[in-house]
């Protein structure tokens, strides 16, 4: 119980999360952070396979808890007319807006975009233009609210992505379940949920600043997702390698794909 009282909650992120350091440390190259071997290539590879089939497409995609990053929507952008990104932390949203507007000093996503485009067989310059055109909104969100975009009411999307967000925002399984319930209400019946996350992690660090994480198992996630009326299509897992890791204590990364029931529950 002592750990719970020290869980790094929303306002701690607002005050202490260094958006640019996070991107520099984890997203400046396709190989990602050297302490988290293969995380980024695993995730980008999974997302490429998921969206390259053309099975998942539609008018609108919402990403809940984007952080300051755009990497999770690169493979998807070809298949959705509108991309809505979001985060709680002001500086994270500002970083995304700077990139969309191609402002001087914005983060350089070219190495990641080029890597994904090589996987997808696309032209990186075309995809970069399309990403900027289709990112219609960057909104503030709080996954601990029943409506994460309160007070705005967002039309349900064809696809919802959430990556490394819920386990960082939720201090126990009840709040995680409630948060995922709120996130899934943003998805139309029959829509696709794509979740990227970590298993067995209790912390991660950005430079010297430590942030909490809810320790989750594959069974925890499958149980919550199924109770919310979803059918899991894929649950891809990449176990941690036996190596020194100073930035986190994860057991595995995962990418889950699930379809929302067409029935109301």
**With b meaning 16 or more CB within 10 Å and e meaning fewer, what string describes 145-174?**
eeebbeeeebeebbbbbbbbbbbbbbbeee
Report d(CA 77, CA 51) in Å as an integer.
9
38 is known to lie in a ligand binding site: no
207 is known to lie in a ligand binding site: no
92 is known to lie in a ligand binding site: yes
Q: 208 CB contacts (<8 Å, ≥6 apart)? A: none
19 is known to lie in a ligand binding site: no
* Burial tier of 140 (Cβ tally within 10 Å: 0-12, 13-18, 19+): middle
27 is known to lie in a ligand binding site: yes
65 is known to lie in a ligand binding site: yes
Report d(CA 229, CA 94) in Å as an integer.
35
Six-digit token pair at 9? 């909650």
Binding region: 22, 27, 65-66, 87, 92
Binding region for S-adenosyl-L-methionine: 22, 27, 65-66, 87, 92
């Amino acid at each position: 119980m002592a750990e719970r009282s020290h869980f790094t909650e929303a306002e701690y992120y607002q005050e202490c999360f260094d958006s640019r350091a996070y991107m520099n440390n984890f997203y400046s190259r396709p190989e990602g952070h050297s302490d988290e071997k293969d995380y980024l290539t695993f995730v980008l590879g999974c997302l490429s396979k998921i969206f390259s089939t053309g099975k998942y497409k539609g008018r609108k995609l919402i990403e809940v808890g984007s952080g300051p990053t755009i990497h999770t929507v690169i493979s998807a952008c070809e298949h959705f007319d509108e991309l809505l990104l979001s985060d709680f932390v002001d500086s994270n949203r500002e970083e995304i807006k700077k990139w969309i507007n191609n402002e001087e000093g914005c983060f350089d996503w070219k190495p990641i975009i080029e890597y994904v485009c090589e996987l997808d067989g696309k032209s990186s310059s075309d995809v970069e233009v399309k990403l900027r055109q289709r990112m219609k909104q960057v909104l503030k969100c709080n996954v601990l609210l029943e409506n994460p975009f309160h007070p705005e009411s967002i039309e349900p999307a064809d696809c919802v992505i959430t990556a490394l967000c819920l386990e960082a925002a939720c201090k126990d399984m009840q709040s995680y379940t409630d948060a995922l319930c709120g996130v899934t209400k943003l998805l139309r019946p029959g829509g696709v949920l794509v979740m990227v996350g970590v298993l067995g992690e209790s912390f991660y660090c950005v430079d010297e600043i430590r942030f909490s994480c809810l320790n989750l198992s594959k069974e925890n996630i499958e149980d919550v997702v199924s109770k919310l009326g979803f059918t899991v299509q894929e649950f891809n897992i990449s176990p941690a390698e036996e190596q020194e890791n100073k930035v986190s204590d994860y057991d595995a990364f995962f990418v889950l794909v699930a379809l929302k029931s067409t029935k109301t529950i």
